[in-house]
Structure 1
Amino acid sequence: MSTKEFIKKQVENFSKPLTPEQFSELSEAENSLIILEMPIKDYTLTEIARIVESNNAHVISLSTLPISGGSELLVSLKLDISDLTTILRSFERFNYNVTYFFMKEGEVTDKQKERLDELMYYLDM
């Protein structure tokens, strides 16, 4: 399975509607997805969980996929937080390569939309 196929599968699993059976297995709090790419020798679940939990979030689901002949690893994290900005900054600070992320509308995107609306109103004057 290639990197693109893995990401596509994770996004499809994340975004498709849940059946009643799946709903009972998963938490409603699952709001965001992060996919990290790293050398397999650098993979430490405890450090990843510490980074996430130090930003007041929790890992709801985690899956991994070895790539590049087993030397690289894709790590998919589903989290219970809707605004990933602080977590993404933390991963950047600790030199993690974030390949993909998805978040439901959070405070940042709402604020950006509000500012864009204000700018458009100003330009229409």
Structure 2
Amino acid sequence: MSTKEFIKNQVEKFSSHITPEEFADLTEAENSLIILEVPSKDYTLTEIARIIESNNAHVMSLSVLPVSDGSTLLISIKLDISDLTPVLRSFERFNYNVIYYYMKEGEINDIQRERLQELLFYLNM
């Protein structure tokens, strides 16, 4: 299974033939999805769980797929929080490669929108 097929499969499982937004409305237990790409030699489930739980989130589901060459793993994680921003920042801080994420709501879009408005305001001066 290729990386693209794995991501597509995980997103389809997550949404189960409804949009991710509709799925998140149906359940309060699984509000977000993260897919990480991790070298096999660096994969430690306890470290990943520690990073997630240090941000007041809980792992609801986890799937691991070795990529064809065997040196890389794709890790799909469903979490019980609707805003992934702190978790994503923690993964960045610990040099994890987040290749896909979905969250019900979050600060990332709001912050980006604010910064764009500030830039446009500055350019109009």
**8 Å CA contact 2:37, 2:99 repeated in 1:** yes
Deviations 1:62-114 (A, max 9, x none): 00000042110000000000000110000000000001000012355467779
Q: Give 2:63's aligned residue.
A: 63
Structure 2: distance between partners of 1:82 and 1:37: 22
Q: What number of residue pairs does the alignment pair up?
A: 114
Q: What's the % identity of the aligned pairs? A: 77
Return the letter of the residue paired with 2:85. Answer: T
Residue in structure 2 matched with residue 76 of structure 1 by the alignment: 76
Gaps of at least 5 residues in structure 1 are 19-26, 117-125
How many angstroms apart in 2 are the aligned matches of 1:74 and 1:37? 5
Matched residues in 1 for 2:12 and 2:81: separation?
19
> Normalization by structure 1: what TM-score?
0.77
Q: What's the counterpart of residue 119 of structure 1?
A: none
Q: TM-score, normalised by structure 2?
A: 0.77
Contact 2:60 2:78 in 1 (8 A): yes
Alignment of 1:77-116 (within 5 A): 77-106=77-106, 109=109
Where 2:69 maps in the other structure, the secondary structure is helix
CA distance in 2, matches of 1:60, 1:101: 15
- Return the index of the structure with the highest Cα Rg: 1
